[in-house]
Structure 1
Amino acid sequence: MSQASSSSSASRPQDVFQIGQIATITGGHTIHDAFSAFFPPLLPHIQTQLGLSYSQIGHVNAVMQIPFLLTLVLGWLADRFSIRNFVIFTPGITATLVVSLGILPSYPLLLATALLLGLSVAAFHAPAPAMISNVSGRRVGLGMSLFMGSGELGRTIGPLVAAVGVAWIGVQGLWQLCIVGWLATAVLYWRLHMVGAKSQQRATPHSLQVFVAQAAPMMALLTLMVVGRTFLQTAFTTYLPLYMRDVRGMTTFTEGAITLSILEGAGVLGALLAGYLADHVPRRVLLLTAFCFATPLAWAFTQVPTEYIYWMLPAVGFFSLSTTPVIFTIVLTRFPRNRALASASFMSMGVGSRALANWIMGLVADAYGLEAVYTMCIFIAALAIIPLLFMRREDLEQG
């Protein structure tokens, strides 16, 4: 009797790594983020077409982050109700919105579309990590590495697809590509429409008040760390095509897209490796290693001649983009009763810091140029090591 009970317990769905469902969700993540990655390489075109300053570009990026403030609400809902339709329908919606960015006739309309785009991206990413953790069993780190790696893969492919699309059908014709996003939505509906997105905790979720009381000390330090990391990541993702054009003298859409894809491609490898190691290696060691390599490499990137930057970008991308799955694993394993709310809290930190980073970077770029922006971001990123040193071992290493 006890053996049967033990066997039944060992085979519970929440303990099994469900590769089929993980493949479906990560595939949707790749398609979704490939379209959202159209935006950075389109920025030079948008800036020229509408005659925008760096500050105005920064405002567009900041506005896109505003809807992510709703991720706390979405995460709270996902711990109690199934909101799988957010994951199912947003790839098509995101694709439709992003392909329209390059043809908008005015700055106010650009801001409005950026707001809607941010809402669609937030609606996908709030419940999706909790869904992944639900179907990853006891291997949450591996599940999160595949999830984050699939997003990085999408952000690697996206700029290249945008470059090829612009070369073949022009910015005006990019709308034809949104059919791929809606095909992804159709596949997600077919595979997931009967799958619940409610968090499958073994115990009742803690109330919001209890969660806040438990999470506040850890989240305060995590926020400081994420702010430093976000400044560096924003400089080397959102602003990279502008930097390559205005500082390095690259003039074509394709050149900016290729540099972004090289960076993100290395980020895929970093995310996959770091997420896997998060289940086997002390997470403080992983984060310290990433931070200690990322900032010197980023500084070296700004100093080397242009012909050597293609050798620097993979190293910068590998270390600067590898921390996200590790931090996600820390958050999800530390708060197993509120996984969706915990992941949404982490995402809200990133959103707030990205909005702040974009606003400050736009102002500094207008006043002092993009070279000063990169120097500032590298310095801020170096400070992110300090809060990591003060985090408790039991907060970092649970699970």
Structure 2
Amino acid sequence: MRGAGPGSGVGGQGERHLHRPARPGAGARPGSGPVLNNGASGFGSRRVVAASVGHFVHDVFTAFLPPLMPLLIAKFSLNMVQAGLLSVFLSLVFFLNPLLGILADRRDLRYAFIAAPALVGVCMGLMGAMPSYYLVCALLLVAGAGSAVYHTLGPVVITRASGRLVGRGMSYFFTGGELARTLGPLAAVGAVAWLGFEHLWPMLLLGLATSAYLLLVFKDTNTALGAGSGRDPESLRVVWRALKAVMLPLVGLVFTRSFVLWTLMIYTPTYLVSRGHSVSFGGTGLAVMEMAGVAGAFLGGLASDRWGRRPVLLALLLVSPLLMLAFNYSSGWLLWPVLVVLGLSVFSSSPVLLAMVQDHAAGRRGAANGLYMGMGFAVSSLVLVLVGWLVDLVGFRAAFNISAVMGLLSVPFALRLPAQAPAAPTAP
């Protein structure tokens, strides 16, 4: 994508488009609120920043799970399969994301989007106080519902507010998420040291405050596709047929890539603890990798706007598994620079993939994002259980080696992705 042209700056024409009410007959009901649409080129910085801040706070809380997993394992005497299932419960509701995406195209879900950080904050803040493994699973399931809503609607909000600069908008959004996953592990281990594992509930106030901020920004904004698009939302079957050329290769790509991405995100702290380090060291190691991922997430989307989605994606998918192998055999001071370059490469591909999905979505952005997110979390849940089983069977080092090799298999799937998005359909 190239520059947005006149009116793309902060507070320019794009910002005025964002507040313009829908015209009668354009798909919005009278009184339904302004349409979240920035026109062809405008970049609506206020809403992009607000959605990214919400993503940051939301992911701070979901990032609590990996560094606190050793404490949950010790508290409830869990094996690695049971520990991996905790992440599955956190993402289980994402199986419904395709339906949620269809609903997001048909109905205004602004208040569900606004409430998500508060819901996730409450659940994660109470996790340490739960007296049983099953209650922790139940809390994670509820938190996952809020997470599914935010991750389905967030990219749609970002895309419509970004105008023609979707890569830039996705970079802001994913930078918020990656920064959260950098600070989240540090916040978790710091909160445990300060408050105690079973007394983390004051942390939930941050989630409540963030939802209050989102309410101020989005309370008058209609997020439904039908508001102002001039097109009726389509059925899931129609959406799948329209997106099949990009979604079929993505199934294989996301499955193989998940062996690198999710193994590192979920199991790195526990792996480092198993190598004789402390829980704080494990959380810090994940935080360093995620901190590098902040730069990677920001630069990945910008690079794909300039050099194209597929070339950037191919380079990242090739380099990341090789760096994972390097991490597996690093120790001492060398561990830290390897974690930095690993985080820089692994997390750069996330905004590129989501921008590619949105490029092909045209007027079905909510459904497309729901399909992608639902498929992604379905396969990642399977991968987490498989990797947990491998760790119990052959140990961490061998399981990480197998995951890196699986990650290399994502390259052939990336080669089958369309080189460019089709022309957007015109409104009737």
- TM-score scaled by length of structure 2: 0.87
Please report how far the alpha carbon of residue 188 of structure 1 lies from its aligned counterpart in structure 2 after TM superposition: 0.9
The percentage of counterpart residues that share the same residue type is 29
1:223-281 CA-to-partner distances (Å, cap 9, x unmatched) read 101111111111111111100001x2112x32122111111111111111111122221
1-side partners of 2:115 and 2:395: how far apart? 40
Letter in 2 for 1:244: L
Alignment of 1:1-399 (within 5 A): 12=17, 13-15=38-40, 16-199=42-225, 201=229, 203-246=231-274, 248-251=275-278, 253-395=279-421
1-side partners of 2:93 and 2:254: how far apart? 19
Question: Is 2:102–2:235's contact at 8 Å kept on the other side of the alignment?
Answer: no
Please report how far the alpha carbon of residue 397 of structure 1 lies from its aligned counterpart in structure 2 after TM superposition: 10
1:271-298 CA-to-partner distances (Å, cap 9, x unmatched) read 1111112222121110111112111111
Judging by fraction of residues, say which structure has more helix.
Answer: 1
Letter in 2 for 1:63: F
SS of the counterpart of 2:222? coil
SS of the counterpart of 2:164? coil
Please report how far the alpha carbon of residue 395 of structure 1 lies from its aligned counterpart in structure 2 after TM superposition: 4.2
Question: Is 2:158–2:170's contact at 8 Å kept on the other side of the alignment?
Answer: yes
Question: Is 1:218–1:395's contact at 8 Å kept on the other side of the alignment?
Answer: no
**Distance of aligned partners of 1:261 and 1:205 in 2 relative to their CA distance in 1, 3 Å threshold:** same
Please report how far the alpha carbon of residue 215 of structure 1 lies from its aligned counterpart in structure 2 after TM superposition: 1.5
Please report how far the alpha carbon of residue 75 of structure 1 lies from its aligned counterpart in structure 2 after TM superposition: 0.8
2-side partners of 1:198 and 1:188: how far apart? 17
1-side partners of 2:422 and 2:401: how far apart? 30
Letter in 2 for 1:249: G
Stretch moving more, 387-396 or 9-18: 9-18
- TM-score scaled by length of structure 1: 0.94
Please report how far the alpha carbon of residue 398 of structure 1 lies from its aligned counterpart in structure 2 after TM superposition: 8.5
Question: Is 1:330–1:398's contact at 8 Å kept on the other side of the alignment?
Answer: no
2-side partners of 1:394 and 1:279: how far apart? 12
1-side partners of 2:422 and 2:266: how far apart? 29
2-side partners of 1:140 and 1:103: how far apart? 41
2-side partners of 1:269 and 1:202: how far apart? 37
2-side partners of 1:398 and 1:373: how far apart? 43
1:370-395 CA-to-partner distances (Å, cap 9, x unmatched) read 11211111011000001111223234
2-side partners of 1:208 and 1:71: how far apart? 11
Question: Is 1:330–1:396's contact at 8 Å kept on the other side of the alignment?
Answer: no
Q: Which runs of 5+ in 1 are unaligned?
A: 1-5
**Distance of aligned partners of 1:396 and 1:326 in 2 relative to their CA distance in 1, 3 Å threshold:** farther
Letter in 2 for 1:379: V
**Distance of aligned partners of 1:310 and 1:268 in 2 relative to their CA distance in 1, 3 Å threshold:** same
2-side partners of 1:113 and 1:169: how far apart? 20
2-side partners of 1:129 and 1:262: how far apart? 26
Please report how far the alpha carbon of residue 396 of structure 1 lies from its aligned counterpart in structure 2 after TM superposition: 8.7
2-side partners of 1:310 and 1:397: how far apart? 45
2-side partners of 1:178 and 1:25: how far apart? 19
**Distance of aligned partners of 1:120 and 1:307 in 2 relative to their CA distance in 1, 3 Å threshold:** same
Q: What is the RMSD computed on CA atoms of the aligned residues?
A: 2.1
Question: Is 2:98–2:236's contact at 8 Å kept on the other side of the alignment?
Answer: no
Letter in 2 for 1:92: A
Question: Is 1:68–1:351's contact at 8 Å kept on the other side of the alignment?
Answer: yes
SS of the counterpart of 2:107? coil
SS of the counterpart of 2:305? coil
